[in-house]
Amino acid sequence: MTIYHLIGCMTGTSCDGVDLAYIITNGSDQLTLGPATTVAFENDYRNRLRSRVTAGLKYHFMDDALGKDIANYHAYHIQEFIQRHQLKVDAIGFHGQTVWHDPKNGVTIQLGDSQHLANKLNINVVGQFRLNDVANGGQGAPLAPIYHKAMTAKLQKPLAVLNIGGVANLTFITERNLIAGDVGPGNALIDDWMERHTGIAQDTNGSCAQKGIVNQSILDKWLQDPFFSKALPKSLDRLHFHQNLNDCQKLSVEDGAATLTEFTIQSIIKSLQNLPAEPKQLVVCGGGCHNPILMAGLQNFTNVLIASDLGFNGDAIEAQLMAYLAARFFEKLPSSFPGTTGVSEPTIAGELFLAK
């Protein structure tokens, strides 16, 4: 197998910035982690992306201008990243900005012009990682399980990896199988609530939720959503639970934050309790790692670790994933599976865009 030197790029559904990460890998059992960084979006740019996330499906098919802008933004910061760390780069794994995800109707849209990015950098790009999965009957998400397996190769099984991003997703790993899916709202509702009431799109250190009181009747209503009765694999659009914010209108900022945070916690716990077996360890990554209220709500679960305990930067994992998926594309290895996305057969993720 060939060893590849790759940069992965990820902009999550929280629209807070672009993560860049460098790895050296064969897309299988060899993995060396290099530098990683997060470039925070300026407010105007972030607001432009968020407006597209909430705009509705009809706006996204022909948004070529924004697609090129996203590619230009990535190209500038990737070039700076390469120069700063003096990196050899064989290819870029480019995710783009998810603006619409509707697996029920076979639609998933990530804005970002991969060909334009390849041309700007004069480096080949592997992009459009979700489309082959959807074309073969899968939900297009989550894509992280195969990388979660690589991360935890030396740990005792069964185990679970929980990523708390804008949407929370869970991977259950045994010696032979991968089962995965989205499990709840992650940070999305908390971020939207805080931005609506404070102008800052996060509850830093969970400090607002810590001062609030959970509204149990509202929480109980939310937990009756049919999504929670579906078995894995399953996936969510960021806006699936967005109407829940209306239920909080009469709550204080603190009580709303507390109730939304507890909703994320309970949605995760529900999924953990429905796994085929109890994981020996739960490894947590993503932005939710930085929220002590979220983490405290999971501490009753057996042996909770955070990604940094394993030597991984929890904020870089999804960018590393994009690079890892690019390597698997070159090696013609599948990245999504019936047990992770519901795809009909193991499917190779990605499309190659050659620099011109």
Domain of 131, CATH number, reads 3.30.420.40
How many CB atoms are closer than 10 A to CB 167? 27
Asked whether residue 164 falls in the same domain as residue 82, the answer is no
pLDDT greater than 60 at residue 118: yes
- Kindly report the average pLDDT of the chain as a whole number: 92
Model pLDDT, residue 61? 53
* Cα angle for residues 228, 229, 232 (degrees, 5° grid): 80
**Is 206 among the domain residues?**
yes
pLDDT greater than 90 at residue 302: no
**Is 342 among the domain residues?**
no
**Counted domains in the chain:** 2
The whole model's pTM is what?
Answer: 0.89
Asked whether residue 159 falls in the same domain as residue 24, the answer is no
Asked whether residue 124 falls in the same domain as residue 149, the answer is no
Asked whether residue 34 falls in the same domain as residue 96, the answer is yes
pLDDT greater than 90 at residue 45: no
pLDDT over 70, % of the chain: 96
pLDDT-based confidence at residue 106 (cuts at 50, 70, 90): confident
Backbone angles phi, psi at 35, to 5 degrees: -65, 160
pLDDT-based confidence at residue 150 (cuts at 50, 70, 90): very high
Asked whether residue 299 falls in the same domain as residue 330, the answer is no
Asked whether residue 104 falls in the same domain as residue 162, the answer is no
Give the residue-averaged pLDDT of 65-80. 93
How many CB atoms are closer than 10 A to CB 169? 30
**Is 340 among the domain residues?**
no
Give the residue-averaged pLDDT of 26-34. 96
Asked whether residue 130 falls in the same domain as residue 235, the answer is no
Model pLDDT, residue 165? 87
**Is 163 among the domain residues?**
yes
Q: Report d(CA 253, CA 245) in Å as an integer.
A: 11
pLDDT greater than 70 at residue 246: yes
Q: Report d(CA 339, CA 233) in Å as an integer.
A: 6
Model pLDDT, residue 57? 54
Give the residue-averaged pLDDT of 169-189. 94
Tokens 């470039």 -> residue: 39
Q: For residue 128, what are the domain limits?
A: 4-139+318-334+347-353
Asked whether residue 130 falls in the same domain as residue 224, the answer is no
Any long-range contacts for 101-109 (C-beta under 8 Å, 24+ apart)? 101/140, 101/141, 101/235, 101/236, 101/237, 101/238, 102/57, 102/237, 103/134, 103/138, 103/139, 103/140, 103/141, 103/235, 106/134, 106/135, 107/57, 107/134, 108/134, 108/140, 108/141, 109/57, 109/60, 109/61
| pLDDT, tens digit (0-9, with 9 covering 90-100), for 277-286 | 999 999 999 8
pLDDT-based confidence at residue 59 (cuts at 50, 70, 90): low
Asked whether residue 93 falls in the same domain as residue 191, the answer is no
Give the residue-averaged pLDDT of 243-261. 97
pLDDT greater than 60 at residue 62: no
Asked whether residue 215 falls in the same domain as residue 98, the answer is no
Cis status, amide bond into 346, omega within 30 of 0: no
Any long-range contacts for 240-246 (C-beta under 8 Å, 24+ apart)? 240/185, 241/184, 241/185, 241/188, 241/189, 242/54, 242/188, 242/189, 242/192, 244/185, 244/189, 245/189, 245/192, 245/193, 245/196
CB–CB of 184/208 below 8 Å? Answer: no
**Is 52 among the domain residues?**
yes
pLDDT greater than 80 at residue 233: yes
Asked whether residue 68 falls in the same domain as residue 154, the answer is no
pLDDT greater than 60 at residue 49: yes
pLDDT greater than 70 at residue 245: yes
Model pLDDT, residue 85? 98
